[in-house]
Structure 1
Amino acid sequence: MTDSPLRHRVVVVTGAARGLGAALAQGCARRGARLALLGHEKPRLDAVAAALPTPALAVEVDVTDAAALDEAAGEVRGRLGQPSVVVANAGIAEGGPFATSNPAEWRRVVDVNLTGSAHTARAFLPDLVDTAGYHLQIASLASLGAAPMMSAYCASKAGVEAFAHSLRAEVAHHGVAVGIAYLSWIDTDMIRDADRYAVLREVRAHMPAPARRILPVDEVAARVVGAVEHRRAAVYVPGWLRIAQVARTALPPVVLRVTRRDLPRLEAEGATDPTGPLGAGGLADRAAAGRGA
């Protein structure tokens, strides 16, 4: 796509080793962007970079490590040039009751999803100011309506939404645009792993029919890349999430009514044990965090 505004731009994507991050990298590269792929699993990052049609750089970094992210930002500038787009996509999840959750694992979800997103913005904000660039925060349906058994994930995704709104107000006068991507269920390792657990399957099963659908990752990535090209303040995938945005104050009572009815049964069946990190990405994060401890 030779007429894309991303052509020859440097785009940073965190959590780029697999899933949505890798698909976003492909989509941006097809529009002529040069990609900086950040995350765990260096061999996978290298493989994603090698498959792109434009110059790409793979940097292994933990987004919860602010100093390491600053070093990564310097490497990106030195080897690709100043980024003008940053997509804060890195994220992990776990499931299970808050009362029996592992405090360290609960905190790690918040650290990666929320604090890691803030560290990412801080590391690259000077570049975005210099280039009048665009920062996209990957949020979630969970930003709009919290679900039981996903307290850390929901708290972190509500947090990144609030962070992005605050950051947008702070940097708009510098010409920097900040967007939020509200995404529903996507066909990734994380969601496939979540479906192995009865309690998490029930969460999705009790949603309205359109909301249960798991979307192909390439379909979601295409919509998000389009939002990046146009510097959207918000993108909703699927589009009905706009309705959830409007109706979000009505969601907690509905969730409460459903869970009061169904959680006792799930507890009696022993189906509410903590899941631990979900998906291959979550396990990779656990391994990397363990090495850094």
Structure 2
Amino acid sequence: MSRRSMEGQVVVVTGAARGIGALLARKLAARGARLALIGLEPDELKKVSESLDVDSDWWEADVTDHVAMARVAGEVAERFGKVDVTVANAGVAAGGPFMDSDPDAWRRVVEVNLIGGAVTGRAFLPLLAASRGYFLQVASLAALTPAPMMTAYCASKSGVEAFAHALRAEVGHKGVRVGVGYLSWTDTDMVRGADEDDVMRELRQRLPWPSNKTYPLGPAVDRIVAGIERRSAHVYAQWWLRGMQSIRGYLPGLIGTVGRREMRRFEPRLAAGGTHRGLVGAGGQADENARTSS
């Protein structure tokens, strides 16, 4: 599919205060897109918006809040007159054994990643239908393969992948294209936060190549931008993720066997309470702060 010019297109990005969302906004702005930024950190959102040499604005909102997101969608439509692309990027993560996990943190990962993507779609799909636009749901390698100590994240990302595939079939006749974005471990606050946990970091390092590497943010976002320009059904932020699609059916059995061995290795350290129980990274902290203050 040929690339479309982003000049003058209005793009909504959730989770835009930092990491993937912030850099995506900057790279889309460099191509002439107008940006509507949504997130939980007003100071960071303002900095990103002010750094863009295009028409842009920002909104503080929790993507799991139907009322707030509907209000934001109405204000974005009033501010820009249309929406051409919406990127459901907001996400949080928590790690550690499920049996010892914090129930509130576990639930919140699913709420933000899965419910938040659906709430974002519900709010902006009428505008995308009017413009015959594009909805990109950011998923993960975690949607393609299970991973021990990441039950909430894997469940949520598998869920958003299925949500996007089902949605594509529903809205295609309206002229709306729906894509799923896949990323492996990418150099963001979330991944760096997870790596602060010694067990999580070592477990990840023991994964087979190339899934044991942390990839630079810039090239990953460049691939996402290219996918948006093409309005692709599948967007792969690292080259090798496309090949995972053909073998994903074999991965649960393989991970089940290998994971049993690795978890046995780490069991003594886990029993000593050596794993972080809450949301990880600066974005996770921002989410916890916002919920505490509200």
Partner in structure 2 of residue 291 of structure 1:
293
Partner in structure 2 of residue 50 of structure 1:
50
- Superposition RMSD in Å: 1.3
Shift of residue 213 of structure 1?
2.0
Distance (Å, rounded) in 1 between the aligned partners of 2:134 and 2:159: 19
8 A contact 2:87–2:135 mirrored in 1: yes
Specify whether residues 271 and 264 from structure 1 end up closer, same or farther in structure 2 by C-alpha distance, changes over 3 A only. Answer: farther
Alignment of 1:1-293 (within 5 A): 5-269=5-269, 270=272, 273-292=275-294
8 A contact 1:147–1:203 mirrored in 2: no
TM-score (norm 1): 0.96
Specify whether residues 253 and 246 from structure 1 end up closer, same or farther in structure 2 by C-alpha distance, changes over 3 A only. Answer: same
Distance (Å, rounded) in 1 between the aligned partners of 2:50 and 2:31: 16
Distance (Å, rounded) in 2 between the aligned partners of 1:96 and 1:14: 26
Distance (Å, rounded) in 2 between the aligned partners of 1:245 and 1:170: 23
- Percent same amino acid among aligned pairs? 52
SS state at 1:211 partner:
coil
Shift of residue 203 of structure 1?
3.2
8 A contact 2:117–2:160 mirrored in 1: yes
Shift of residue 78 of structure 1?
1.2
Shift of residue 90 of structure 1?
0.1
Amino acid at match of 2:290: A
SS state at 1:79 partner:
helix
SS state at 2:210 partner:
helix
Distance (Å, rounded) in 1 between the aligned partners of 2:182 and 2:203: 18
Deviations along 1:156-200, one digit per CA (max 9) or x if unpaired, are 000000000000000000000000011101100111111121221
Amino acid at match of 2:45: L
Shift of residue 206 of structure 1?
2.3
Q: For structure 1, which segment, 13-22 or 255-264, has the greater mean C-alpha deviation from structure 2 after superposition?
A: 255-264
8 A contact 1:100–1:274 mirrored in 2: no
Structure 2, gaps ≥5 residues long: none
Distance (Å, rounded) in 2 between the aligned partners of 1:147 and 1:202: 13
Shift of residue 237 of structure 1?
2.0
Deviations along 1:88-116, one digit per CA (max 9) or x if unpaired, are 00000000111111111111110000000
Shift of residue 264 of structure 1?
2.1
Shift of residue 4 of structure 1?
5.3
Amino acid at match of 1:286: E
SS state at 1:191 partner:
helix
8 A contact 1:179–1:231 mirrored in 2: yes
What is the aligned residue count?
Answer: 290
- Deviation >4 Å, runs of 4+: none
Distance (Å, rounded) in 1 between the aligned partners of 2:287 and 2:171: 31
Distance (Å, rounded) in 2 between the aligned partners of 1:264 and 1:207: 15
Distance (Å, rounded) in 1 between the aligned partners of 2:186 and 2:277: 19
8 A contact 1:15–1:90 mirrored in 2: yes
TM-score (norm 2): 0.96
Distance (Å, rounded) in 1 between the aligned partners of 2:255 and 2:276: 20
Distance (Å, rounded) in 1 between the aligned partners of 2:63 and 2:10: 19
Structure 1, gaps ≥5 residues long: none
Deviations along 1:211-267, one digit per CA (max 9) or x if unpaired, are 222111111111101100010000112121112111011111221222211212312
Amino acid at match of 2:293: R
Q: For structure 1, which segment, 100-109 or 120-129, has the greater mean C-alpha deviation from structure 2 after superposition?
A: 100-109
8 A contact 2:221–2:237 mirrored in 1: no
